[in-house]
Amino acid sequence: MTTLAGTSSPDAAHDLEELRGSARGWHGVQLAVLGFIGLCGALQGGGSASGPGWVQDLSFVLVLAALVLACSATVLVASAAWPVYGGAGHATESPADELRHTGHRLRAGIAVTFVAVACLAVATSAAWWPSGSSSGGSGEALVEVRTGTGVACGVLRPADAGNLVVDVAGQTFTVALSDLVSVRPVERC
């Protein structure tokens, strides 16, 4: 009996065992990828936010997508490495057909793993967003100025003696030092 690409049944059974051994090796790699995604997600959640809100939101969605993809890929590769028999389809499947299906699951699982890693790489690139973006990209430090009548947030500008000048979104506000309650640096307004 000749099966897949001229391979006889005993050869297909041997090739199937080798393929399952390869899948077991890839399964270990995938578990490492899952751990790395979890670590990156934990580090991202505990770090200071960088960039605009939409970048942070996109990064969060991509980390979650990477996690879902990595879990799906792990299931695909695990089913190739350690098949669960009991369904009607496995009883009638020839070794050559099982070899083909197992190979397909392994290739799909590996491809999905690489897509998950790519999603994670894009998600973590948000950490490199320029930090000066909240002050117009000029790199100037932002401050929050409190007076008895209110709060202003912006960039300090040169002022004459006895005053403090704050540039808030292109408008300058002069505050007398006698009215000043506090000044503190902030990352964003």
pLDDT digits (tens, 9 = 90+) for 117-141: 899 888 888 767 765 544 444 567 8
Q: Is the pTM of this model over 0.75?
A: no
The residue whose two tokens read 């070899």 is: 99
Domain limits, CATH 2.30.30.100, in the chain = 133-186
Give the pairing type, strands 142-147 and 171-176.
unpaired
Q: Which two tokens stand for residue 116?
A: 């998950």
Collect all residues with Cβ–Cβ distance below 8 Å to 84 and sequence separation of at least 6: none
Spell out a b/e string for 15-51, using b for 16 or more CB atoms within 10 Å of the CB, else e: bbeebbebbeebbeebeebbeebeebbeebeeeebbb
Query: In this predicted structure, what is the pLDDT of residue 49?
Result: 58
Query: In this predicted structure, what is the pLDDT of residue 68?
Result: 92
For the chain, the maximum distance between any two Cα atoms, rounded to a whole number of angstroms, is: 99
Could you please state the CATH topology (level 3) that the domain comprising 133-186 is classified under.
Answer: SH3 type barrels. (2.30.30)
Q: Where does the pLDDT of residue 69 fall: very low under 50, low under 70, confident under 90, or very high at 90 and above?
A: very high
